[in-house]
Structure 1
Amino acid sequence: MARKGFAMRVLAPLVLVGGLTAGTSAAHASDNPYERGPDPTESSIEASRGPFAVAQSTVSRTAARGFGGGTVYYPTDTSQGTFGAIAISPGYTATQSSIAWLGPRIASQGFVVITIDTLSRYDQPSARADQLLAALDHLTGSSLRNRIDPTRLGVMGHSMGGGGAIEAANDRPSLQASIPLTGWHTTKTWSRMAVPTLVVGAENDGVAPVASHSEPFYEGMPAELDKAYLELNDASHYAPNSPNVTIAKYSISWLKRFIDNDTRYEQFLCPAPAESTISEYRDTCPHS
């Protein structure tokens, strides 16, 4: 039975077929025990749902410690082993509803995902960083802990939540991936960053212009770090607040590549992708 403040329900529209495809995927899985799901294709990572059926649970504000509660999305399949986990923060004045679409979309690709509310809508990046890490700690100690590999964790966030995702990764170098989405932070240089980071900026961002935020973030991280900079073509600061194929496609690829060490997704990151929705892409290919 779920503990108080952790109500659970299965998302009926998300019930999809899981499991590895025969042949190539099975061979890959034997080499890398963290691979989950069939061999990826352009269509599979662009799809609104991946190969895993997903269930949803709620962490009430009173049950949360160090963050404002949230919603957990997780694969129902337990036959393939544990999954990596990701915490996602909204931006300034926003609630988790603003980034809720990322939860089931990423979870259906084989991750446990928590989208969080913050303790205050006005929390700055440092506070959001602490809350992202508190949410990950909650997951690894929750009733879902047997589904999660606590050594394979990542963070994401929008705007100030994106700044929080950078700071959380800087504070906890054991994380496996960080993805700031049109991130905002007064600190531009992250010379100690050790976590593979995909920085997503938006060409027409008037709130956190790429020239003063996303680009300096990327350039201010170590040259030897596995990192990438993706700039959304003709997009605004609020592009991450609604379903976006480009954000989903490359976020999934990054998370798979670095949280699951799944080199099947390297093809979508290296060489640099060229498509009309991307105005600029930089990467430290090949990845280590």
Structure 2
Amino acid sequence: MRRHLAGATGAAAACLAALLLAPGATAAPATSSAALAANPYERGPAPTEASVQASRGPYAVSQTSVSSLAATGFGGGTIYYPTTTADGTFAAVAISPGFTATQSSIAWLGPRLASQGFVVFTIDTLTTMDQPDSRGRQLLAALDHLTQRSTVRGRVDATRLGVMGHSMGGGGTLEAAKSRPSLKAAIPLTGWNTDKTWPEISTPTLVIGADGDTIAPVATHSEPFYESLPASLDKAYLELNGASHFTPNTSDTTIGKYSLSWLKRFLDNDTRYEQFLCPLPRPSLTIEEYRGSCPLGS
């Protein structure tokens, strides 16, 4: 009896196949391999040169403040996030200011990056005099607050987190990446740290320096930071042309473009942005030098 049922089932399948292949028959839509391989973390439309240089992306942005009284392990800050919930959760990045500075010095990055599809936390540190190791711990504390206690924690994918920072906050970015290998991206901006070697870091890292930096000269900070990162790591070194230590404190198209592309590539695994990182950008009016590993993610 089982053989008869099996034979009937096979015959029915053959008839169905014949019907589908008959002239005039419309085949059922197939699930393409491209659709199966689609990246679930992509956010926003396909990028263009204009979109990665724009001061605002496709997402409307809201913001909420975190009081220092509500913060544990850091000094509070401001969370910028896409207003919509239709696209699911977003990757997140915490950003630290530099020595003697407050979050206002890096605030421009908040709405700029959030409008491209990230949750961004610009933080104040416990004191404006905190050193890089402390700032690194505070960046991690801010990410923990963001993913576990903040009012927008439901919008954040806690598996896709990154860190950025300016000056001593840039040094803190390296400290954070060293301490928490699960971070997906790190971007020190004209970073300062007495530790010059970072072979322990396994987080994809974009080091941004400035050719005119006299506070954290690239020869003794950004360049050795970059060169000491493992050769096998996805890494890049961008030296800004005609820039100073404080260039990251105001809106800057080059910093915005390459920071966005790095975060998209490694927080969102969005290979659509690799075109802006590989082949390596050439020197220009705004780029003194660019080094890096290409292709990325290999």
| 1:212 corresponding residue in structure 2 | 220
Distance 1:28 1:157, change over 3 A: farther
| 1:281 corresponding residue in structure 2 | 290
| 2:16 corresponding residue in structure 1 | none
Letter in 2 for 1:248: G
Preserved contact between residue 152 and residue 260 of structure 1 (Cα < 8 Å)? yes
Distance 1:112 1:28, change over 3 A: farther
| 1:149 corresponding residue in structure 2 | 157
Deviation track 1:206-240 (CA, whole Å, cap 9, x = no partner) reads 00000000000000010000000000001100000
**Count of aligned pairs:** 262
d(CA) in 1 for partners of 2:88 and 2:276?
Answer: 25
Structure 1 unaligned blocks of 5 or more: 1-26
- 1:44 corresponds to 2:45: no
Q: By how many angstroms is 1:81 displaced?
A: 1.1
| 2:247 corresponding residue in structure 1 | 239
Q: Which has the larger radius of gyration?
A: 2
| 1:117 corresponding residue in structure 2 | 124
C-alpha RMSD over aligned residues: 1.0
Match of 2:256 among 245, 248, 251: 248
| 1:8 corresponding residue in structure 2 | none
Letter in 1 for 2:215: V
d(CA) in 1 for partners of 2:36 and 2:285?
Answer: 33
Letter in 2 for 1:245: T
Letter in 1 for 2:292: D
Letter in 2 for 1:130: R
Preserved contact between residue 29 and residue 35 of structure 1 (Cα < 8 Å)? no
d(CA) in 2 for partners of 1:272 and 1:28?
Answer: 30
| 1:230 corresponding residue in structure 2 | 238
| 1:165 corresponding residue in structure 2 | 173
- 1:183 corresponds to 2:191: yes
d(CA) in 1 for partners of 2:217 and 2:97?
Answer: 18
Q: By how many angstroms is 1:29 displaced?
A: 9.5
Deviation track 1:125-153 (CA, whole Å, cap 9, x = no partner) reads 00000000000000001221110000000
- 1:82 corresponds to 2:89: yes
Q: By how many angstroms is 1:28 displaced?
A: 7.3
Q: By how many angstroms is 1:107 displaced?
A: 0.4
Aligned to 1:198, the other structure's residue is in SS state strand
Letter in 2 for 1:283: G
d(CA) in 2 for partners of 1:169 and 1:29?
Answer: 32
Q: By how many angstroms is 1:262 displaced?
A: 0.2
Structure 2 unaligned blocks of 5 or more: 1-33
Q: By how many angstroms is 1:196 displaced?
A: 0.2
Match of 1:174 among 158, 166, 182: 182
d(CA) in 1 for partners of 2:36 and 2:272?
Answer: 11
| Overall identity of the aligned pairs, in % | 70
Preserved contact between residue 126 and residue 167 of structure 1 (Cα < 8 Å)? yes
Of the structure 1 ranges 231-240 and 142-151, higher mean CA displacement relative to structure 2 is found in: 142-151
Aligned to 1:127, the other structure's residue is in SS state helix
Preserved contact between residue 28 and residue 35 of structure 1 (Cα < 8 Å)? no
TM-score by length of 2: 0.87
Letter in 2 for 1:279: E
Match of 1:139 among 142, 146, 154: 146
